[in-house]
Every structure is written in C-alpha cells, then in structure tokens.
Structure 1
Amino acid sequence: MNRFLPKRSLLILILVPCLALLLWNLHQMQHPAGTPVSPQETISHHVILIPLDGRPPCRQFVIDAGRIGGTEVLTPPHELQDYYSQPGDTKAMKSWLSSEIGHADAVILSIDQLLYGGLLTAREKQASEEDVNELLTYLQELHEDHPDVPIYAFSILPRLTPQDTIDGYNERRDIMAYSRLVGRQAAGLSVDEEKIASLKAKIPPASLERYLAHFRENAALNERLMDLTHDGTLTRLVLGQDDGEEYGIPNIEKFALQGYIKDLGLSEKQVFLTHGADEIALSLLAAWHNEQTGYIPKVFVQYNDAHAEDRVMPYMAVPTGICTEEKIRLTGGEQVASPEEADFTLLVSTNDADENTLDSRAECVQLLKENIEKGQPTALVDLSKHFTGEETVLPQLIASDFPLNRLLAYAGWNTTSNSLGTAIAQACLYRSSLPAVTNEEEAIGLAAPQVRFLENRILEDYFYLKEDIDTINSTLKKAGYVNTADLDLERNYRWANLMLRTSMTRHLLVYRQTAAFRAPFPIDTPAGTIWLQLHDLQADMSFPWPRTFEIYLETTPFLEKLSSSPAQAQSY
C-alpha cells in the first residue's frame, strides 16, 4: 500500500493549486475585445500519407499542417497502423492504399512502413528478398494502375546505434566505437588501426555481422528504389539519415548511395538525401504544395551568433548551416543573401550553455522585433544543446510581451533536422497558400490552422519538452518506475497521462493570460489588412505511445476580429 502514497500526495499537491488557478482564471477571464469568428477552412486537395510510424510528428503533424494548405491528408485506419513495438499490418495497408489512391492528388509513403511495419521494426527486422521483391512489384503495379497520381516515397538509412537485439552494454559500446573509427577512416582521416583491430576482436562475430548486414540490406534496397525512380515509378525518393553523427558506418552507406545517384544521372528533384527522419513526410507535403502553387520560397537565414552556422548539434552528422540549406532545398526553395530578396526570414538559434551563448537570446528577441517592425515574416527555430528551457529564446519572448502569433512558424523539438524541417514546411504551406485567398472569410480560414499549428508547437516544444518531461520522468522514477521509455499501460501509463494533463493545463492557464499570447496579429485579405486576436485556446493531450518521449495534442483556438488596428501593434 505504501508505494501508492506518493501518487496520492502528488495528486493533492497538483490538483489543489490547479483548481484554485482554474477558478481564478474563470473569474479573471476578459470578455472578447472584438467579434468572435468561426473559421471556414477550404479543402482543395487530397493527399494520402503512409506515415513512417504512428507518432504525432510522423502522422498528426502532417494532417494538421495539410489544413494550412487546404489539403486533406488521409492516413490508414488506426487498426492497420503500428503501435510502439507492434508493427503495422503491411499487407492490409497496401490493400488499403490500392483502394484509396484513385481519390488522391498525390501519395506520400514510407518504405519502412510498407516493408517492415514502421521505423522501430525497421531498426530491428531483416526483410527477406521475397518481401523486398513483393514491395517493389507492388509499387510498379500501383503506378501502372494510377499513372497520373505522383508517388513521393522516403526511406530511412539505419542509425549508428546497434539494433536492440544486439545485447550487452560493453558489446554495444564497442560496436559504436568501432563504427565511428571505421567512419573516420573511410573519410580519409588518421585513425588508430590497432584500436580498430582491438575493438573488432572484442565484438562477437555474429553481432558485428548482424550490425553490418543491416547496412548492406538497406543500401541494396535503396539502390533498387532509385532504379524505380529512374524508370518513373516513383516521382521522387527521399533518403533520410536517422540520428546521425559526423563519422560512422552510416555515412559510408550514404556516400556510396550518392555515387549511385550520380551513376544513374538522377537530379535532386528525383532523389534527395537529407539528414533526419520524422519530419520528411511533412517536408514532402510542403514540397508538393509548392509545386502545385508554383511557389519557390526564397529564404533569408539569420543565426543567433557567429558560430551557430558551424555548430554541430546533438544527433546530427553535419553543421547547422548545412542542414538548414538542405531543408530549404528539399521544399524546392533557395537561400538568399538579404531579407529584401526573401519571402520570409528563418531565425535559427542554437544555444549551448557550455559555450556561453545564452546572451544571444536577448539579441534574438531584438532581431524578431525588428523584423516585425519591417513587416518581414519570420519563422523561429529554437534549438537547445542540452534540451533545457534556459537555452531557448521563447521564455524571453513571453517575458518581453512579444506577439507570438505573428511568428510564421516555431519549432524546437528533438533534433535540428526535425525542427528545421517542421518550421520551414509550415512557413512554406502558409506563404504558398496566401495568393489563392479571394475574400476575408478564406483569409481567416487560412489563419486558423496556421495559428493552431504554431501554438501546438509552442505547447509541446517548450512547455512539455523543456519543462514537464523531466518532472514527469523524475516523479515516475521516485515511485519506483525505472523505465520511462516503456510504461505499464495499466498503472503508470495512466498516472503519467494524469500528470501530463494536470501540469500542461496549469501552463496553459497562465500562458493564455500573457500579452504574448493575446497580442493581435495582422492578416492580409484582398480588401486590406484585418487584425485577429487569439482570445482562448483549449487543449487536451496524452501520450500516444506508452512512453514519455512525445505527446499527442488536440487543441481548439478561439479567434476574434478586432474592429480597428490596435495601437499596441505599432510598437514593434
């Protein structure tokens, strides 16, 4: 019985102040300053998505962002989708895709989902030659039956970390050290060859062979996918490098695939290599939408300090500047040298407390204010070397009453590639949709999903990932639950969800009373500029998988139209 006492005590400590705050909030809630609006979103396109897996970044982000571009993103039924370590039903999913593709304008599909049943399964499972042949034949037949529906496919290169089936701390550590040294050697750098031989001798031959075979299998698969792109079966193929490092065996495979691309004479529009995984479907959606609208985004990039462009952030194989330029190209855009040439500015902050970069946060706030004064649309990528709130710009924006809903996009979750891909895609979808707006109602209908996606990223990327996740993990561990990456569905998973909702509700109650949240923001319409204000935001959230790494958010923004241009809007 005693093991449950900490839970009850914690709930009392959480719920009592939360209830008091809720009552205060209801009492203090101001009446709308303008006229409430009911946004009417327009659906013009239909895209099918076979997601990398069922996590929100791979599935729900694409659905939500599609609404910004007037696109309905249709995904397989939940019962066919993977769930954590349980793979998706690949046969049923292919059957579902065949039955739905005739109603789609395009298909974005994950090879790892259709072949293995999701990313986690792809990291562990070997595909037979029969399975690979069956998938490739299926893709050819799918294209032959529906030649007018473009197929955008993406495939993920294995990461440096060994498969979970390779057990033992020392064994895994030695394999990773071996991989890094072999990668440096392949890059032409000086290495200790005796050290390589020593590590190889310590690793069980069967484990090393399983590790290396994973890369050989993946390389062979990707070469055959490139052949399908060369013959026109696939309209475009994106190869993503998952959780990369500067040197390692994954890079050897990547460089070999680059050689194969060159041998086939394939262009970047046909095959594109990128760093990242979870955000690729979203980037492809933005790229497809840009093609449909004829939009070629011109992006001016600002950084938080002189070294940010060359800084290599966690889980990345390349510096931030290279990844930034790459993600812009993936959507069909180009990086320009001045804000005057740009459609929008991308401000990338890569703060690292160990390098004493925190003073740059105030400079970022000033840059954002200056951009607004100039009428320069700006997206913010708010990265943190140690994934801590003190390294991010957002809390300083809130403290300075910066009008957050005037940001074109915000992202700061997990890896550099994830955040860059997400922010650039959102900015492109919104900017490419503006020319099609014909009246005020359509302008408001476009603004609503844009604001919703923006606020979702703020709630998760900052309030959850920088403030709540460590508290929830620590509380679970203090109660005796050691593995927060594999929660018990019947006990601590439910408790974790309760802690999540309680803590995030408290954040939201305070946040939505701030001037930063309530500040008016302009919307361009054919008849001129109108001003909207986010009066309220309702949110529910849960853990989509039995782990605390990511959350699922369902939010509803409540907008109002102001009768005149607000005086405070001119202060920036």
Structure 2
Amino acid sequence: MHIALLPLDERPVNTRLPRQVAAVARVEVELPPAAMLSRKKQPGDTAALGSWLEATVERSAPADELVASLDTLGYGGLIAARTTTDSVAAVLNRWEALRRVRARAPRTGLHAVSLVTRAPNSNSSDEEPDYWRHIGADLHRYGAALHRRYLGEQAGEREAGELRDRLPRESVADFEARRLRNHTVNLAALGLAADATLQTLLITADDTAERSAGSLEQHWLAHWKRVLGDAVDGVLMHPGADEVGSVLVARAVLGRIRDTPLPVAVECAVPGGLSRVAPYENLPLAQGTQGHLRAVGAAPVPADADAELVVVVHPPDQQGGDWAHGHPRVREQEHSEVRATAERVASLVAAGAAVVVADCAYPNGSDPALLAALQARIDLKSLAAYGGWNTAGNTVGSALAHGVVHATARAAGVLDDAAHHRLLLHRLIEDSAYMTDIRGRALARFTEQDRHDELPADVREPARSWIAAELARSVERFPEFAGWSLPADSVRLPWDRTFEVDFALHQADGPAEAVSEEGLR
C-alpha cells in the first residue's frame, strides 16, 4: 500500500508524524520534494505541488490513497493561508488539480483537510500578518464580539463597535477581507465533497474559543453541511489542525486493510471530565473526541461493549495552566483525577485491552504527575499509543491515529513492533521531556523572550546544541525502552524557535530513522 501526502506545511508534525503512524502498519507515505513545500511564511510552489499531486496517480505504480491539505494546494501552506493576498479565483483554480486526479483515478481514495482561519489571542506576528504583533489580542476580541453580536448579545454589539473604531482601519479591513476570502474558499470545499471529488473532507479549527470569529464561521459551514445532507456525508468538523494529516493517513490505512470500522470506546475516569471544554477549543471533549473517531474511520462503541481499542482521556485540569506560557501548578500523583486516570489505564492494560492515553490535562505538554503514576503501575511499552501535546485536538487525534493503526495492523498480522515503539517513545520524549521541561529551560537560558518566537540568529546553534544534549539524555527517563537512543546530531529546530523540535530515534541493532538535510522530515 502506498499513500501520497500533501502536508499542511513542512513541520515534523505534518511530515514525519504521518509517516511514523503509517509505518506501524508497514505502509509507505510519499511526500513532495522539500523544495516545493513552504518555509514558514514563504509559501510553497502551488503549481509544482498541484503537478506533483496529479503525477502520483499517473505513473505505472500509482498511489492507492491521497491525503491533501487544501491550504497547501491553494495558498502554499498553513501560514500562507493567513498572510497571502491570493484571490478566491486563484485558490479555486489550483484546486482543479483535485478534479483532474479524480477523473484520472476514480478508485483512488482522496481525503482532504481545510482549516478555518485562526485568530489567536496574542500579540505575536510569528505566524500571522505583521500587524498582529501590535493588535492581535484585540482582533481576537473583535472576532469574539462579532460572534456575540450575531447571537444577539448586547455586549457584543457594543464591544464590536468600540474595537472597530479604536483599531487601525487598514488592519481591521485586512482581517475582515482575509477571513471573508478564506470562508468563501471553505464553502467551495464543501462543493468538492458534494460533487464526490473528495471522499473525505475535514474542516477543522485550531486556536479558537467558544466565542470567536472562527466559531461563527464554523456555525455557517455547519448550516450548509446540514442543507447539503447526504451529499456531504464525508464532511466532518471539529477542533484540530496539526494532527489531521496523521488522522487521514490512519483513515486511509484502515480503509485498505480492514473490511469494517474498528470499534473504539472512549472513557474518562473523572466524572464529568468529557464535558469540559479544553483551552483553545470551542466544544466539550466528548464532542471533539467523537469527531476524531469518525475522522479516523473508527466506530464509536459504549465503554462496556466489545471494543478493540479503548481511548482513556485525561481531562483538562480545571486550575488551568499552559506549558508554552509558563509552568502550570502541576498536581501530585495522588491527586484524585490523576490517580483515577492512572488506575483505569492500569486495569484495562491488566485485562489485555489495547489502550490509548490522551493526556489533555494541560495545553502544550503532558501531565508529569500522570506519567509518573502510569510508570508506577504499567510498562509504558504496553500502551497502544500516547499523546500529550499542544491542543486537546492535537493530542486526541494523533494518539487515536497511532492507536487505530496499531490495533488494525496487529489484527491483520502486519504490525511493525519497532515502528510502534519508536512512535510511542517519540511522543513520550517530545510531549513530556521536551515540552514540559527542556523547552522552557532553553527559552530562559538563551533568550529574554516570554514566547517561543524565532530565536535571535546568534543563539540558534548554541540553543540547538544544548537542547540536543538534553534530549539525548532524556531517553533515560523511560527505562522501559532499553536499547533505544536519541542521536544528538539528529536534533533540529525546524522554524528556528523552541516551540517545536525534530529528532530521530535509533534502536540498537535496528535500522536508523532517516532525517532530511533540513531536519524537517
């Protein structure tokens, strides 16, 4: 089986992670040449990417399944969708490559994702238009006020007017025009699903809130999904972004090596935990998790049913905290919620269940208390998957993708144990050792920044070298994975910042994991 992936952008979560997920079932994922892809704010070559996508089904050994980011095909990448001035007509013309693919290869699975543009609550232009550094938080509030005004809330009418009058007119006009363009494009994406060009379409949203510009646009999109009915049965909408490549790759794998949907149960040992709304999201965890289940091609079943996979969700800590913006007030191992999650995981593992742990306690990193409690009760290698990074959607979606491929590959007799353990250890090291510990210390040691924006040029290599040494030692935190190592020379900072990291893992007497020259895959 061969999958071609047009990723959301060039970062490891969108390139390396989907490959790691597929490798668990011994499936190959092909990516476009790195030179075609974006480089942060520099858009990718949309013409070349469209031609590459068409070529994947025109050769003698065509791809069996295609997974495509519509933002990359239309704008050149995730950041380009937020910063470029390309017209609706230009974007839709680039999408015609998908219709040509469908005409040329009608039996090839074609799965796509399009994002609702975010409006983050921060004054940082690292991933946004330049004016965001001055008024980004106000534009986030403006979007929320417009949403409240639409709902008939009087406070929204007043606040929207005050912000519009106070903020720079040109910046507000650009914000509004860009959102209108991108929303129009998302409506057109529904058309690609309605005319069966796309087999699956995910319209997801990251870095949002219950009241926000993006949440209002999702409401309008949901209206048209209801209107179109059965014609857009393959369209799903829920919180998420960087996990979607892995989710759709997993969906493609399941569709090829399994005749029926994988039955998956979702549990939370904390009463009411699934009703909580995680930071940066706009739906309760229960709804978001069900969206990821449908997206990955699984069949939700009750907790007491005969599930082949159980996802245990560790819910958001109600005290708050965010690993990217400071050190949360982490609870003790014996905290009732930590203990409840750990004991439920341990009991399921002891009963022989395949278990995924989705650690959603804190954004942008895992819960150290939960990991310690789990290590005291189980062998971490016994898990089907683990996730604890960025948003709850990122965590649930990527962990679920790994878990369903693991369960399906095992049942089909194609499981690659080494690839499974590599991915499991990679997530434990990145989500725990790096995000909750090494990353914050690196930011404080090498900069005076309070955000993980681009590093000053003179500290990039010293910071990378120090991080590499710390990461190489971090494998020792997980003695269950004896025989694995993290070569310091494999460590990269893909966007010259501390927020994300790339590295490879090596198993003694096993094949080395490939790292590209740019360190992006």
In the alignment, which of 3, 13, 17 is matched to residue 57 of structure 1? 13
Q: Which residue does 2:477 correspond to in 1?
A: 511
In structure 2, the gaps of 5 or more residues are 321-329, 511-521
Q: Which residue does 1:414 correspond to in 2?
A: 390
Q: Which residue does 2:517 correspond to in 1?
A: none
Does residue 385 (structure 1) correspond to residue 335 (structure 2)? The answer is no
**Maintained 8 Å contact 1:383/1:392:** no
Q: Which residue does 2:513 correspond to in 1?
A: none
Does residue 492 (structure 1) correspond to residue 459 (structure 2)? The answer is yes
Q: Which residue does 2:222 correspond to in 1?
A: 258
Pairing 1:374-523 to 2, within 5 Å after superposition: 374-385=351-362, 387=364, 392-398=369-375, 400=376, 402-437=378-413, 446-477=416-447, 484-489=452-457, 491-508=458-475, 510-512=476-478, 514=479, 517=480
Distance between the aligned counterparts of 1:304 and 1:92, measured in 2? 49
**Maintained 8 Å contact 2:51/2:97:** no
Q: How far off its partner does 1:351 sit?
A: 4.3
Q: How far off its partner does 1:278 sit?
A: 0.7
Cα deviation per residue 1:188-208 (whole Å; 9 max; x = unaligned)? 545353333222211233222
**Maintained 8 Å contact 2:366/2:388:** no
Q: Which residue does 1:366 correspond to in 2?
A: 343
Q: Which residue does 1:88 correspond to in 2?
A: 44
Q: Which residue does 2:293 correspond to in 1?
A: 328
In the alignment, which of 65, 78, 91 is matched to residue 132 of structure 1? 91
Q: 1:176 and 1:129, CA in 2 relative to 1: closer, same or farther beyond 3 A?
A: closer
Distance between the aligned counterparts of 2:64 and 2:351, measured in 1? 38
**Maintained 8 Å contact 1:295/1:432:** no
Q: Which residue does 2:313 correspond to in 1?
A: 348
The secondary structure found in structure 1 opposite 2:422 is helix
Task: Report % sequence identity.
Answer: 24
Distance between the aligned counterparts of 1:386 and 1:288, measured in 2? 28
Distance between the aligned counterparts of 1:267 and 1:447, measured in 2? 40
Q: How far off its partner does 1:80 sit?
A: 1.3
Q: 1:376 and 1:138, CA in 2 relative to 1: closer, same or farther beyond 3 A?
A: closer
Q: Which residue does 1:338 correspond to in 2?
A: 303
Q: 1:273 and 1:267, CA in 2 relative to 1: closer, same or farther beyond 3 A?
A: farther
Distance between the aligned counterparts of 1:553 and 1:471, measured in 2? 18
In the alignment, which of 280, 283, 286 is matched to residue 318 of structure 1? 283
In the alignment, which of 117, 137, 154 is matched to residue 76 of structure 2? 117
Pairing 1:294-309 to 2, within 5 Å after superposition: 294-309=259-274
Cα deviation per residue 1:431-478 (whole Å; 9 max; x = unaligned)? 1122321xxxx55xx212111111110010101001100000000125
Q: Which residue does 1:27 correspond to in 2?
A: none
Q: Which residue does 1:270 correspond to in 2?
A: 234
Q: 1:389 and 1:232, CA in 2 relative to 1: closer, same or farther beyond 3 A?
A: closer
Q: How far off its partner does 1:95 sit?
A: 2.0
Cα deviation per residue 1:344-380 (whole Å; 9 max; x = unaligned)? 2111112426279743212222222211221111110
Structure with greater proportional strand content: 1
Distance between the aligned counterparts of 1:286 and 1:269, measured in 2? 19
Q: 1:84 and 1:310, CA in 2 relative to 1: closer, same or farther beyond 3 A?
A: same
Does residue 199 (structure 1) correspond to residue 163 (structure 2)? The answer is yes
TM-score by length of 2: 0.87
Distance between the aligned counterparts of 2:505 and 2:273, measured in 1? 33
Distance between the aligned counterparts of 1:386 and 1:99, measured in 2? 39
Distance between the aligned counterparts of 2:365 and 2:371, measured in 1? 12
Q: How far off its partner does 1:119 sit?
A: 0.5
The secondary structure found in structure 2 opposite 1:385 is coil
The secondary structure found in structure 1 opposite 2:129 is coil
Distance between the aligned counterparts of 1:173 and 1:436, measured in 2? 49
Residue identity opposite 2:472 in structure 1 = T
The secondary structure found in structure 2 opposite 1:47 is strand
Which one has a bigger Cα radius of gyration? 1
Cα deviation per residue 1:227-246 (whole Å; 9 max; x = unaligned)? 22222222222111121111
Q: Which residue does 1:217 correspond to in 2?
A: 181
Distance between the aligned counterparts of 1:182 and 1:467, measured in 2? 38
Q: Which moved more, 1:331-340 or 1:312-321?
A: 331-340
Superposed CA RMSD in Å reads 2.4
Distance between the aligned counterparts of 2:143 and 2:484, measured in 1? 51
Distance between the aligned counterparts of 1:552 and 1:237, measured in 2? 28
**Maintained 8 Å contact 1:385/1:391:** no
In the alignment, which of 497, 501, 505 is matched to residue 547 of structure 1? 497
TM-score by length of 1: 0.80
Residue identity opposite 1:279 in structure 2 = E
Q: How far off its partner does 1:388 sit?
A: 6.1
Q: Which moved more, 1:82-91 or 1:267-276?
A: 267-276
Cα deviation per residue 1:150-172 (whole Å; 9 max; x = unaligned)? 22121111112387436266633
**Maintained 8 Å contact 1:143/1:149:** yes
**Maintained 8 Å contact 1:156/1:277:** yes
Distance between the aligned counterparts of 1:196 and 1:254, measured in 2? 19
Q: 1:298 and 1:213, CA in 2 relative to 1: closer, same or farther beyond 3 A?
A: same
Cα deviation per residue 1:520-553 (whole Å; 9 max; x = unaligned)? xxxxxxxxxxxxxx54344442212211111112
Q: How far off its partner does 1:185 sit?
A: 3.1
In structure 1, the gaps of 5 or more residues are 1-44, 519-533, 561-572
Q: Which residue does 2:484 correspond to in 1?
A: 536
